Structure 1
Amino acid sequence: MQFIALTSIGVETLLAEELQTFGATITKQTIGSVRFEADSLLAQKICLSTRFSTRIMMMLSQSNDVKDKDALYKLAKNIEWAEWFGPNQSFAVEFNGTNTLLKNSQFSGMVVKDAIVDYFNDKNGQRPNVDKTSPNVRVVGKLNKSDCALYVDYSGPRLSDRGYRTKQGQAPIREHLAAALIKRSGWLEDPTKPLFDPCCGSGTLLIEAASMAQNIAPGLQKRFAFQDLPGFRDAKFKEIKQALRDAQVTPNLWLIGHDIDERVLSVAEQNAARAGFEGQIQFKVADANKLTSVAKRSGHVVSNLPYGERLGGMAELVNLYRNLGGAFKQCFQDWHVALLGTDESLFNLLKLVRAKTYKFKNGPLDVLFNLYQLDARQVSQVNRANTLHFETSSAFANRLKKNLQGLKSWVKQNNIEAYRAYDADIPEYNVAVDVYPSHAVIYEYAAPKNVDEKVAEKRLQDVITLTAQTLDVAPENVAVKVRKRQKGENQYEVLSRQDRVMEVNEFGAKFKVNLFDYLDTGLFLDHRLARRYIQDNAKDKRFLNLFSYTGSASVHAALGGAKSVVTVDMSRTYLKWAEENFALNNLKSPRYRFEQADCLKWLEHAQGQYDLIFLDPPTFSNSKRMQAVFDVQRDHIQLFSWVKKILSSNGTLLFSNNKRGFEIDELGLMGLGLKAQCISDKTISPDFKRNKQIHNSWLITHA
């Protein structure tokens, strides 16, 4: 009988070797799968025992000439389906793959389903039912160009789900991949040695290690699809299970798991107990940044290190990898270290020479599994784990210190809590650094094409380290935002949010900011003085805030005594944020309105009169109200024509934008009967003086 075992990319070779040890004959190994021959009893044993497969299917038929619907129907119709289920049972079809004529996998699945139904109608005059949720038999079709194979699902629910894991931490790995990492680490060659995971999360690696060392078949508690197929003999199946139980061993294990998150460690302990290893793994709350020796005897470190699961969390990662490199050399001489991660530049921070690298897929992520041998030669090297990549990076730190000193008196006099301390002052260090109470935000600008990407990555890592040191800010309180398209679809992807909200004071106003979960924090610092102008001039005025973002200008207008405040933005998230800012300042009145709308569409049809309007449009926008996309340079006169209709006779429009080189159309303004006064120099505060193009601003009134 022909079978196919599925797995993750990178695990295929281990799966093939495992199948051979069970006695199966390998016929083909491809990306993500291994085909093999076995009788039914051996196939059942494999389902019970495999650690590296996620699914096993039995092949029913195969053809390399399935080019269209008719050929697919013929392939399916010619199978003797009565050998696998009857007309009184239910079935489902899942189909994967397309070709030139079979372009839709759902349609192909319907073709197979129709062929099965027609087979039973012709044979019995009765058709089986289709049940997509819990069928008696699941038929699987796989198509690649004209090659098509039809299978019966033999194993059933995903084999990697062992049953012990009901909750998991961030950046989890499937159990079959965890087993592959343990196997590749080399620890199983002598499982009496200590096995230590400094970032153990929900304990998957250690639990899989315990199961492998004790030769416990992972599927002993599972129910399989083959148990519903004709010819299944329960007595024989029980004999196989008993033989597997008899083959278990009980070596003395030394398994240690640390994690900084006490809640996740509690989950790990529960998972271990469900897996039957309660008390066999030493779990402890500990910070991997402060790693110390865990055993007098050398052993293996195996860990799935944290990686970019959060938008702003890169600084924590840089700090972690730097600290781990030093700790391994100081406290783990003669140990073997095996680490899983996604970013080659982070691995470089360890300052360790790798012995071997394996490539895997962890879900959608491309990951690297690096093996290191901490022998005397490696440990004797100068410990550079906490040094910079480039000596010239000290120039960045010196400039940051100089800027901080220059802003010190202004910050103190004006009680400023959030400000810009560095903005690409040195071209090679193309970042901006904003200071918040006990926190910092680093924005990396896209490097020029002539700058090597790896060099830019190393400079950024130096910037992260030096920013934390210079500002005396904990690395976990440094948010890093990369203002460019990331390499790969998932690098630094937001997989979870931190929801770390803090409060910032500005000229008597309070604002909620979130430094980690969004590209922007909720408060544009360069508009600080524009907001103060609004507060100073809002008394008894009807105020309108367009493209309001989180409503900070609206808060200042309300605190300044505005008669009414209307806040307009397309984003419900930002409007809710604006309402929270109003609540934070104890501002509540029916005169304060929040409207969710396309600001251009809203403005085109706006009615009423406003005495003070703040208009800070984006440089570009895909609004339906403009030709193609909105362009602030091209379309600002059209904006002003709409604003003029609602600007009171003595009213003022404070217009601002961030387009570099923006030029206001003086003739267009005159044609509308408006006049403008440039006040950019009055709205750019000392912390942004180094960047004169940070924004442009004008006061516009009726001529």
Structure 2
Amino acid sequence: MNTFPIFVTCPRGVETLLATELGTLGIHACTPQRGGVAAQATLEAAYRACLWSRIASRVLMPLQRFEAPDADALYEQAMQIAWTDIFSADTTFAIEVAGRSEGIGHTHFAGLKIKDAIVDQFRNQGHARPSVDTERPGIRIHLHLERAHATLSLDLAGDSLHRRGYRRDGVEAPLKENLASAILLLAGWPALAEQGAPLLDPLCGSGTLPIEAAWMAADIAPGILRKRWGFEGWLDHQPATWLRLREEAGIRRREGLARALPFIAGSDLDPRAIAAARDNAARAGLAERIDWQISEALTTRPPPAATQGLFVCNPPYGERLGMEAELVKLYSLLGVHLKQHFGGWRAAVFTSRVDLGQRMGLRADGLHNLYNGAIACKLLTFALHAPTTESSTSPWNLTPASAPKGGEDFANRLRKNLKHLNKWARRNEVENFRVYDADLPDYALAIDLYQTPERHAHVQEYAAPKTIEPAKAEARLREALAQLQHVLELPPAHLHYKLRRAQKGEAQYARQGDSNAFHQINEHGCTLAVNFEDYLDTGIFLDHRPLRLRIQREAHDKRVLNLFCYTGAASVHAAVGGARQTLSIDLSNTYLEWAQHNLNINGARAWLYDHPPAPGERLPAHALIRADCRKWLAEQAGQPQPPLFDLIFFDPPTFSNSKKMDGTLDIQRDHVELIEHCLRLLAPGGTLYFSNNRRGFRLDPAIAARAQVEDITLKTLDEDFKRPPPAHKAWCIRPIA
């Protein structure tokens, strides 16, 4: 039979895999090249490649390769091709341009030149002018530019072959179907499927990997659902041959679906993703063939009695700081999870973050360089040798895991702290407290427990010194997170990880995520909203708990000023304590709105002003003002009759160079002036509580010469913060009568 040259394109990195696949489809002389495979094919074999290739993107039939130093050469060479022998005037066409050339700077202009040549040739030969249709053309012409050369080809597929037809139009997926198939082939799924082994994707998104896996197992042609093909408008198309191949694919599909398929499951924490996955699976003819679950990746377990299988996933890449922390947690716990629960299985993790892949603590037996579009990625494959001892009647077994290996010293210290602090917390009606704070040098973490009423753990890792090897620090974190989850019996979604580095300006308070997931905690009769995901801090500083309680007990019928109020927790305590008035000042709209919400949910209706009210303006009982605290203090203290407060809580940042404020704030440098302004605003018999967390801070002796000063640091540190050095320093300051 006659053969002709073809070039089959594919995602970068799978060219050799594609050459092997094309060989099984009857295509000869396959030569892998960058971005595809050059080969020789009969027309029937080319049809088979369009219908059956799971990896290919396009099947191109080169028409002419030529030198093209400029756009005029494109026109001249295109005129040499007998376009009227390729398609008729009533067939629409489109030009697609790929690659680049130094002499042709604009691909759109290059496409116009080819279009002009085609249209002019039809007219010159007395034919009607064929129409261009960029959306649904009858013929698609492919122009590839490579330096000074150009290749014009007929696109036999017409549209990219990754578009199988089961995904709704307009819905983009982070993983194209042909790349998903390549991942499954490289992970060894076909051999496992033949043995009836299961496949689990715990981060399935819209379901591409499980659906492609099911089509492989059921011997379903990846092009079976497609309605349009590029060769259908080609004058040399052989409809009878194509119909025969389609009928053969239909028979194989029916036979494949009549067989029992391996257990294939996909799960995701996002209900919208699972809804999309179910819809895609139904459109793929797999409505009852894939098990979909809304669940977290780290709760996935093997089906009962499954001694082998494939655990495959494509974790999110992470583009924000908050997402980065969540990915560190995910990868760190994923390796432990696989070793604990999936012994005897194979695992495949497709990622653009090889640095995070190393956090899994597993030795990869395969490493493949792939591309997801323009993004360089790696496929890591693992053989999991640890024995599996669990059994269950459910494919989504959630039985407690045995204790993880490694980090036993950390686990023992955590249990010891918990035993002591749980007793103390019950006696003192404390629900949210710090349970661990770098007690062991190798595990440099601060761990806070919150009751919402479900228990959450907020974990902050102190940046390791440069003398510690990164691999060792990663291993310690992995051990600590696994042991923490085990000891506290926490679901992974309730374990929140952050990396705490030295911050500049307001970076500590910058938004890191957009979950908007707020929870409510109780503290001494006050309800406070916290957020574990979107900011470095949760919205409350637990070390100030005793100081807030002191304010609550002293606030009855008093006017209370809260400077640098953050989320207004101290204002809430004052309001709950019966304060006559609370005034909260901060420069951040985000935190002022948070503070307003905190006051409102405690029955203290609060009003928020986006700028300081006019002098003498009467304020409501609970008010919040957006203002630079330093500037506001100076202005109020400079008035002949400044507003007077009975209680002032002053907890400034150590340093700030926010663009919203004038100049910079350095609390060591500026505290004398700021405290003097505060004293000017104190009513007779009033009290100023001044606190900050700067290491090595020294209160200027000049303050003691003008006011009564009492260092109350030790009195404001509860049992969970009695570790040197103190989390903060605090003073009670009163004017000298």
**TM bucket by the smaller chain?**
0.7 to 0.9
Q: Which moves more between the two structures, 109-118 or 551-560?
A: 109-118
The number of aligned residues is 663
Identify the residue that residue 527 of structure 1 maps to in structure 2. Answer: 544
Judging changes above 3 Å, is the alpha-carbon distance between structure 1 residues 408 and 294 closer, same or farther for their aligned structure 2 residues? Answer: closer
Judging changes above 3 Å, is the alpha-carbon distance between structure 1 residues 564 and 76 closer, same or farther for their aligned structure 2 residues? Answer: farther
Deviation at 1:416, TM superposition (A): 0.7
Identify the residue that residue 395 of structure 2 maps to in structure 1. Answer: none
Do the aligned residues in 2 keep the contact of 1:206 with 1:255 (CA within 8 Å)? no
Structure-to-structure mapping, 1:561-600, within 5 angstroms: 561-569=578-586, 571-590=588-607, 591=620, 592-595=622-625
Deviation at 1:602, TM superposition (A): 6.8
| Aligned counterpart in structure 2 of residue 447 of structure 1, from 458, 464, 488 | 464
| Aligned counterpart in structure 1 of residue 166 of structure 2, from 150, 164, 167 | 164
Do the aligned residues in 1 keep the contact of 2:214 with 2:261 (CA within 8 Å)? no
Quick one: distance in 2 between partners of 1:623 and 1:128? Answer: 62
Structure-to-structure mapping, 1:89-168, within 5 angstroms: 108-109=106-107, 112=110, 155=157, 158-165=160-167
Do the aligned residues in 1 keep the contact of 2:158 with 2:231 (CA within 8 Å)? no
Identify the residue that residue 221 of structure 1 maps to in structure 2. Answer: 225
Identify the residue that residue 180 of structure 1 maps to in structure 2. Answer: 182
Deviation at 1:647, TM superposition (A): 6.9
Quick one: distance in 1 between partners of 2:480 and 2:136? Answer: 55
Deviation at 1:419, TM superposition (A): 0.8
Aligned amino acid, residue 661 of structure 1: G
| Aligned counterpart in structure 2 of residue 459 of structure 1, from 472, 476, 489 | 476
Identify the residue that residue 400 of structure 1 maps to in structure 2. Answer: 414
Identify the residue that residue 447 of structure 2 maps to in structure 1. Answer: 433
Do the aligned residues in 1 keep the contact of 2:336 with 2:404 (CA within 8 Å)? no
Quick one: distance in 1 between partners of 2:53 and 2:712? Answer: 71
Deviation at 1:453, TM superposition (A): 1.7
SS at match of 1:587: coil
| Aligned counterpart in structure 2 of residue 11 of structure 1, from 8, 11, 14 | 14
| Aligned counterpart in structure 1 of residue 532 of structure 2, from 507, 512, 515 | 515
Do the aligned residues in 1 keep the contact of 2:693 with 2:728 (CA within 8 Å)? yes
Q: What CA deviation, in whole Å up to 9, does each residue of 1:529-563 have, x standing for no partner?
A: 23234334444555444443332222123223334
1:690 and 2:701 matched: no
Structure-to-structure mapping, 1:163-562, within 5 angstroms: 163-165=165-167, 173-189=175-191, 191-199=193-201, 201=204, 204-223=208-227, 226=230, 231=235, 233=237, 235=239, 238-239=242-243, 242=246, 245=249, 248=252, 250-251=255-256, 252-258=259-265, 270-281=279-290, 291=301, 294=304, 300-304=309-313, 311-312=325-326, 321-329=335-343, 337-340=346-349, 343-345=356-358, 347-348=360-361, 355-360=365-370, 366-372=377-383, 390=406, 393-437=407-451, 438-483=455-500, 501-562=518-579
Judging changes above 3 Å, is the alpha-carbon distance between structure 1 residues 148 and 621 closer, same or farther for their aligned structure 2 residues? Answer: farther
Identify the residue that residue 394 of structure 2 maps to in structure 1. Answer: none
Quick one: distance in 2 between partners of 1:628 and 1:510? Answer: 36
Identify the residue that residue 614 of structure 2 maps to in structure 1. Answer: none
Judging changes above 3 Å, is the alpha-carbon distance between structure 1 residues 536 and 161 closer, same or farther for their aligned structure 2 residues? Answer: farther
Structure-to-structure mapping, 1:24-35, within 5 angstroms: 26=30, 29-30=33-34, 33-34=36-37
Do the aligned residues in 1 keep the contact of 2:93 with 2:133 (CA within 8 Å)? yes
Do the aligned residues in 2 keep the contact of 1:313 with 1:478 (CA within 8 Å)? no
Aligned amino acid, residue 506 of structure 1: E
Quick one: distance in 1 between partners of 2:50 and 2:630? Answer: 61
Quick one: distance in 2 between partners of 1:140 and 1:238? Answer: 22
Identify the residue that residue 611 of structure 2 maps to in structure 1. Answer: none
Identify the residue that residue 54 of structure 2 maps to in structure 1. Answer: 51
Gap regions ≥5 residues in structure 2? 390-400, 503-510, 608-619
Do the aligned residues in 1 keep the contact of 2:22 with 2:30 (CA within 8 Å)? yes
Do the aligned residues in 2 keep the contact of 1:138 with 1:152 (CA within 8 Å)? yes
Quick one: distance in 1 between partners of 2:132 and 2:672? Answer: 62
Judging changes above 3 Å, is the alpha-carbon distance between structure 1 residues 365 and 115 closer, same or farther for their aligned structure 2 residues? Answer: closer
Deviation at 1:152, TM superposition (A): 8.1
| Aligned counterpart in structure 2 of residue 657 of structure 1, from 688, 692, 697 | 692
Q: What CA deviation, in whole Å up to 9, does each residue of 1:73-127 have, x standing for no partner?
A: 456555538959999979687777798x99xxxx834654675688799998999
Quick one: distance in 2 between partners of 1:655 and 1:144? Answer: 69
Quick one: distance in 1 between partners of 2:17 and 2:111? Answer: 35
Deviation at 1:303, TM superposition (A): 2.9
Aligned amino acid, residue 397 of structure 1: A
Do the aligned residues in 2 keep the contact of 1:323 with 1:386 (CA within 8 Å)? no
Quick one: distance in 2 between partners of 1:98 and 1:622? Answer: 48
SS at match of 1:248: helix
Q: Which moves more between the two structures, 201-210 or 633-642?
A: 633-642
Q: Percent identity?
A: 33
Identify the residue that residue 80 of structure 1 maps to in structure 2. Answer: 78
1:609 and 2:643 matched: yes
SS at match of 2:106: helix
Deviation at 1:567, TM superposition (A): 3.9
Do the aligned residues in 2 keep the contact of 1:430 with 1:445 (CA within 8 Å)? yes
Quick one: distance in 1 between partners of 2:159 and 2:444? Answer: 50
Do the aligned residues in 1 keep the contact of 2:94 with 2:141 (CA within 8 Å)? yes
Quick one: distance in 1 between partners of 2:36 and 2:676? Answer: 64
SS at match of 1:255: coil
Deviation at 1:521, TM superposition (A): 1.9
SS at match of 1:216: coil
Identify the residue that residue 68 of structure 1 maps to in structure 2. Answer: none
Deviation at 1:428, TM superposition (A): 1.3
Deviation at 1:443, TM superposition (A): 1.6
Instruction: Tell which structure's C-alpha radius of gyration is larger.
Output: 2
Deviation at 1:690, TM superposition (A): 0.6
Deviation at 1:142, TM superposition (A): 7.5
Over aligned residue pairs, what C-alpha RMSD do you find? 5.3
Q: What CA deviation, in whole Å up to 9, does each residue of 1:438-481 have, x standing for no partner?
A: 33222211111221222222222222233334445455533222
Q: Which moves more between the two structures, 680-689 or 693-702?
A: 693-702
Judging changes above 3 Å, is the alpha-carbon distance between structure 1 residues 300 and 411 closer, same or farther for their aligned structure 2 residues? Answer: closer
Aligned amino acid, residue 551 of structure 1: G
Do the aligned residues in 2 keep the contact of 1:389 with 1:459 (CA within 8 Å)? no
Aligned amino acid, residue 657 of structure 1: N
Identify the residue that residue 624 of structure 1 maps to in structure 2. Answer: 659
Do the aligned residues in 2 keep the contact of 1:117 with 1:127 (CA within 8 Å)? no
Q: Which moves more between the two structures, 631-640 or 13-22?
A: 631-640
Aligned amino acid, residue 218 of structure 1: P
Quick one: distance in 2 between partners of 1:610 and 1:128? Answer: 84
